[in-house]
């Protein structure tokens, strides 16, 4: 009998333990569910681990996605900005690290100068409206409104300062400016010279019929890309050609004839849809493509102009492979590109006609290339790469110059890159397209990583732009030395009044 009682007691106890376990388990499940359901709202307060420089610009897929609520929010604070867009302010951080500089009163010569005081902009010096082209006027109006928008949406006060703003394409003096040379040795030697890169005016508006503005193009590109979301759709429905439209004479002093050479290299080639724009008046061209239509192609050719090309950031929104000679002009987000150098690929040169290398889709079947293994630890290497010539073979490919390697010390593997740098004279453009055609998964990966970073990562979003402008004001103000005596007699006009008269 005592045995039976003991058994009953044991059974009762084990039933109780089971119940307690069930209750505890239930609590645990509830707790986990709560945590999971809350995590999206905590996205931007997460300490995203990007102190490791190599991760900067890593595809967003490795990190939590940013909601459109965040990407459209113009009032993120500094901590939220840094967590949401790691590496965004690298250009500012680099130029701040150079040290203090003097803001000289330029009078009526030089860039626009203004004062920020208690969050209010006062224009101190500006060129007269009638002395500016419509394009320059647009660019100035846009830049000032962009700055103003970032100030009035700031969640906390920004420091007072006096700034110089250069809205021309060519960097000049110490100012907020659109681009700088990628190669540091081209920069002015003046110890006081600083280029603080600002976001392009197209983030505000760009009144060309085929562009409109970055937000307009972003929406149009997102609509278009939604038809290519699956790998099958991308592989089968994007056009297997390299596309380009542009003005052939618009070249840099550093790369004269860049565009003519492109037209020559692509002429009559089955892999190319490359055409010089046929302008009708100053603002429209008969064969222009709406900017979003470039994304219908697997390969998009990019050319810089006299300096940077304002079109670059539009092409970076496509899930397409951008093919460009190594970039020579940095804009505020250009440091996020992860280049694969065509010189590191084992390209099969196409048939030679008249001593000119050519290639066609047919040569792709013969390419068995794979990326040259890069030396060193980690995935990227700073080793210069060129295809070594085999016995009895002509030397293939191109060797990046010292200048290019200084500007772009890191080359990425095909499965990490988000852009392809081809030979500066375009001589391997066709072979590179053929290689990508023979490695469609690699091509798709490069294309998708580009869009995933710049659009998915939100680096071109309204939130990131406002974050960047405020970081720019803070960075500039931190290093700018203003001798108030020098500015004592300089009367300003408020931004609001200036915006009405536009400087006349
Ligand atoms: C934007 O972000 C700020 C800072 O986190 C927040 O206070 C504000 O409510 C957000 N605005 C919207 C519309 O979500
Ligand atoms: C630009 O030119 C194209 C081709 O001639 C034409 O279809 C289009 O309507 C023009 N756009 C504007 C805004 O003039």
The distance in angstroms from the start CA to the end CA of the chain is 109
Confidence band of 62 (pLDDT split at 50, 70, 90) = low
Q: Is the CB of 270 under 6 A from ligand 2?
A: no
Residue 164 or 391, more confident: 164
Q: State how beta strands 239-246 and 352-353 pair.
A: unpaired
Q: Contact at 8 Å (CB) between 299 and 241?
A: yes
Among 73, 74, 85, 464, say which to mutate for ligand 1: greatest number of ligand atoms within 8 Å of CB: 73
Give the number of whichever ligand sits closest to the CA of residue 208.
Answer: 2
Pick the residue whose CA is nearest to atom 2 on ligand 2: 286
73 CA distance to ligand 1 middle (Å):
6
* pLDDT tens-place string over residues 2-59: 454 545 555 555 566 566 555 555 545 544 444 433 333 333 433 333 333 334 444 4
Confidence band of 196 (pLDDT split at 50, 70, 90) = very high
Strand partners, 125: 113
Domain extent listing, the chain: 65-205+461-501, 214-386+393-456
Number of H helices, E strands in the chain: 15, 20
324 CA distance to ligand 2 middle (Å):
28
3-state SS assignment for residue 438: helix
Q: State how beta strands 329-330 and 493-494 pair.
A: unpaired
Residue length, the chain? 504
Q: What is the structure's pLDDT at 319?
A: 98
Can you say how many angstroms the Cα of residue 413 is from the centroid of all Cα atoms in its chain?
19
Q: What is the structure's pLDDT at 264?
A: 94
Q: Contact at 8 Å (CB) between 312 and 331?
A: yes
Q: pTM to 2 decimals?
A: 0.81
Pick the residue whose CA is nearest to atom 1 on ligand 2: 284
3-state SS assignment for residue 356: strand
In 118-256, DSSP assigns E strands to 120-125, 161-165, 175-177, 180-181, 195-197, 239-246
- Residue 484: both structure tokens together: 């108030």
Q: Is the CB of 284 under 6 A from ligand 2?
A: yes
Backbone angles phi, psi at 255, to 5 degrees: -135, 65
For residue 73, the ligand 1 atom closest to its alpha carbon is 1
Can you say how many angstroms the Cα of residue 16 is from the centroid of all Cα atoms in its chain?
61
Q: Contact at 8 Å (CB) between 273 and 241?
A: yes
SS3 content of the chain, % helix, strand, coil (to 5): 40, 15, 45
What does each C-alpha distance from 216 to 92, 203, 290 come to in angstroms?
27, 10, 11
* pLDDT tens-place string over residues 346-370: 887 665 433 334 333 333 333 333 3
Q: Is the CB of 247 under 6 A from ligand 1?
A: no
What does each C-alpha distance from 270 to 237, 244, 275, 295, 421 come to in angstroms?
17, 14, 13, 19, 21
> CA nearest 385: which of 357, 361, 362, 408?
408
What mean pLDDT value characterizes the chain?
Answer: 82
Q: Is the CB of 69 under 6 A from ligand 1?
A: yes
Among 40, 45, 75, say which to mutate for ligand 1: greatest number of ligand atoms within 8 Å of CB: 75
Pick the residue whose CA is nearest to atom 4 on ligand 2: 286
What are the residues whose beta carbons fall under 8 Å from the beta carbon of 362, sequence distance 6 or more? Answer: none
Confidence band of 106 (pLDDT split at 50, 70, 90) = confident
* pLDDT tens-place string over residues 437-463: 999 999 999 999 999 999 999 999 999
């Amino acid at each position: 009998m005592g045995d039976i009682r003991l058994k009953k007691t044991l059974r009762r106890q084990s039933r109780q333990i089971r119940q307690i376990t069930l209750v505890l388990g239930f609590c645990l499940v509830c707790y986990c569910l709560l945590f999971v359901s809350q995590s999206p709202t905590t996205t931007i307060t997460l300490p995203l681990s990007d102190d490791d420089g190599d991760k900067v610009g890593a595809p967003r897929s490795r990190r939590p996605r940013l909601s459109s609520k965040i990407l459209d929010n113009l009032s993120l604070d500094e901590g939220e900005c840094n967590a949401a867009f790691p590496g965004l302010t690298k250009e500012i951080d680099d130029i701040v690290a150079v040290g203090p500089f003097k803001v000289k009163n330029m009078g009526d010569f030089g860039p626009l100068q203004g004062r920020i005081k208690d969050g209010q902009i006062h224009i101190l010096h500006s060129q007269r409206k009638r002395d500016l082209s419509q394009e320059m006027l647009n660019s100035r109006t846009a830049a000032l409104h962009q700055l103003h928008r970032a100030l009035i949406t700031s969640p906390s006060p920004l420091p007072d300062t006096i700034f110089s703003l250069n809205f021309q394409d060519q960097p000049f003096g110490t100012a907020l400016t659109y681009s700088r040379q990628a190669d540091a040795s081209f920069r002015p030697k003046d110890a006081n010279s600083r280029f603080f890169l600002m976001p392009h005016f197209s983030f505000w508006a760009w009144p060309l019929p085929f562009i409109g503005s970055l937000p307009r193009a972003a929406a149009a590109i997102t609509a278009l890309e939604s038809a290519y979301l699956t790998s099958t759709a991308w592989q089968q429905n994007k056009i297997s050609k390299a596309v380009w439209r542009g003005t052939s004479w618009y070249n840099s002093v550093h790369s004269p004839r860049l565009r003519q050479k492109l037209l020559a290299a692509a002429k009559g080639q089955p892999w190319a849809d490359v055409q010089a724009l046929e302008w009708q008046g100053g603002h429209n061209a008969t064969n222009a493509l709406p900017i979003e239509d470039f994304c219908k192609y697997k390969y998009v050719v990019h050319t810089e102009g006299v300096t940077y090309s304002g079109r670059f950031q539009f092409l970076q929104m496509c899930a397409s492979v951008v093919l460009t000679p190594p970039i020579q002009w940095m804009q505020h987000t250009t440091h996020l590109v992860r280049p694969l150098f065509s010189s590191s690929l084992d390209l099969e040169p196409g048939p030679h006609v008249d001593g000119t290398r050519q290639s066609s889709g047919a040569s792709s079947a013969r390419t068995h290339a794979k990326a040259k293994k890069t030396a060193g630890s980690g995935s990227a290497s700073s080793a210069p790469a060129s295809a070594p010539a085999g016995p009895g073979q002509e030397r293939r490919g191109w060797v990046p110059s010292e200048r290019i390697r200084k500007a772009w010390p890191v080359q990425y593997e095909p499965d990490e890159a988000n852009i392809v740098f081809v030979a500066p004279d375009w001589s391997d453009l066709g072979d590179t397209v053929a290689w990508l055609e023979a490695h469609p998964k690699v091509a798709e990966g490069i294309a998708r990583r580009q869009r995933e970073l710049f659009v998915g990562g939100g680096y071109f979003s309204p939130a990131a732009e406002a974050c960047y402008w405020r970081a720019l004001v803070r960075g500039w103000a931190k290093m700018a030395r203003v001798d108030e005596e020098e500015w004592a007699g300089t009367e300003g006009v408020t931004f609001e009044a200036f915006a009405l008269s536009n400087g006349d």
